[in-house]
Amino acid sequence: MIIDCHGHYTTAPKQLAAWREDQIAAKGQRSAMARPDGPLITDDEIRETLLGAQIPVQRERGIDLTIFSPRAAAMGQHVGDEAMSMQWSRICNDLIGRVATLFPQDYAPVCQLPQSPGCPPAHVIPELRRCVEEMGFVGCNLNPDPAGGYWTDPPMTDEWWFPVYEVLEELDVPAMIHVSGSCNPNFQYSGAHYINGDTSVFMQILDSDLFDRFPRLRLIIPHGGGAVPFHWGRYRGLAIDRNRREPAEMMGDNLFFDTCVYHQPGIDLMTGVVPVRNVLFASETFGAVRSVDPETGVPFDHTRRYIDNSPHLDAADRQAIYAGNTLRVFPRLAARLAEQDRIPA
């Protein structure tokens, strides 16, 4: 079985983006909006957007299931206030819930959280509980920088975040650490802000005792861990200099990278230095890169090809990356698949 742990609804019906534009223009004032309770989207429109785009590619590449969340760049927690973020998050999460209901064999749902700069992370807990306990979501996306490139909130190892971690442990769900769009012109969102976020959070955790405090917390840093694998020696050295655990030991059963790395040498490097048990298969299709590599004739985001061709991975390693590790990290997904009689051998 092959599970893609990192998918976004990037082909959502156009009514969703139009509603968001209306909300922003109205500054969240429901009385000034054409449809204050959300966009009108039919089940057939959802089917059309997926069967005409993402699902055929997923099936063509042999991916059995994608862990699916709202479009990351559109989470936009830096836009408006907390009330706007709450309404937008609920609408996006409800849409993802509908996707998972319509296509239970293809998608498992993950939620965005109604964060807002300067607002205590504890305020997102009701929406997290609603999605997990009432709607069957298997995880969440947690934005380390709701300010959209200005990093005005405390580091993720600060007590500011601890109420969310406590609930993640209680619910037994992981969080993918994923920034959203950038409003800082110094950082293009997908090529700079995303990688900055990934790398910065890794260093925050390396220089902390977070997992001693929360031993059952599971976090996923996407995009191959940002710059971390390429600078693995730097982080090992920093850990030793600062009397911290080395990266592989620190990651343990708590921290994981995905395979959204869009070339063979990058995957070979990551899977060569990062413990295989800490690597989860992902492609983020369709996501940051949609073009075809002119050198190979293959789409950059066809990441399964890189795993299959990585010379130092054996069959057991590949199966761990493709499904085994993900089922450990997402126990509610494992239970969901068991209900469908789809747990891999």
> How would you write 263-300 as a 3-class SS string?
CHHHHHHHHHHCCHHHEECCCCCCCCCCCECCCCCCEC
How do residues 8-22 score in pLDDT, each as one tens digit? 999 999 999 999 999
**pLDDT exceeds cutoff 70 at 145:** yes
Residue 118 CB neighbour total at 10 angstroms: 11
Q: What's residue 135's pLDDT?
A: 98
Q: Mean pLDDT check: name the lowest of 100-104, 196-200, 218-222, 340-344.
A: 340-344
Beta-carbon count within 10 A of 308 CB: 11
Question: Left, alpha or beta for 223 (phi > 0: left; psi -120 to 50: alpha)?
Answer: left
pLDDT score, position 289: 84
The tokens describing 29, both together, are 């004032």
| Listed residue (96, 78, 2, 84) closest to 36, CA to CA | 84
Mean pLDDT calculated for residue range 25-54? 95
How many percent of the chain have pLDDT more than 90? Answer: 95
Find where tokens 């983020």 sit.
284
**Distance in Å from the first CA to the final CA of the chain:** 9
pLDDT of residue 344: 66
Does 159 score more than 70 pLDDT? yes
114: CB partners within 8 A, 6+ apart: 77, 82, 85, 86, 88, 89, 90, 123, 124, 127
| Segment (H or E) for 257 | strand 255-258
Compute the mean pLDDT over every residue in the chain, rounded to the nearest whole number: 96
The yes-or-no answer on residue 284 being catalytic is yes
pLDDT-derived band at 285, boundaries 50, 70, 90: confident
d(Cα 195, Cα 222) in Å, to the nearest integer? 9
Give me the mean pLDDT over the 18-39 stretch: 94
pLDDT digits (tens, 9 = 90+) for 68-80: 999 999 999 999 9
pLDDT of res. 160 = 98
CA angle at 150 for the pair 71 and 262, rounded to the nearest 5°: 45
Has residue 85 got a pLDDT over 90?
Answer: yes
Measured distance CA(23)–CA(70) in Å, rounded: 17
Whether the predicted pLDDT of 271 surpasses 70: yes
Cα–Cα distance for residue pair 218/173, rounded to 1 Å = 7
Q: Is the dihedral of CA 234, 236, 237, 238 positive or negative?
A: positive
The arithmetic mean of pLDDT across residues 77-89, rounded, is 96
Q: DSSP secondary-structure letter at 155?
A: P
Q: What is the rounded CA–CA span in Å between residue 33 and residue 197?
A: 34
Instruction: Give the pLDDT score at 254.
Output: 98
CA distance 58 to 67: 12
- Whether residue 287 has pLDDT greater than 80: no
Q: What does the pLDDT read at residue 35?
A: 94
Q: What is the pLDDT of residues 95-144, one digit of tens each?
A: 999 999 999 999 999 999 999 999 999 999 999 999 999 999 999 999 99
Spot the catalytic one: 60, 134, 169, 284: 284
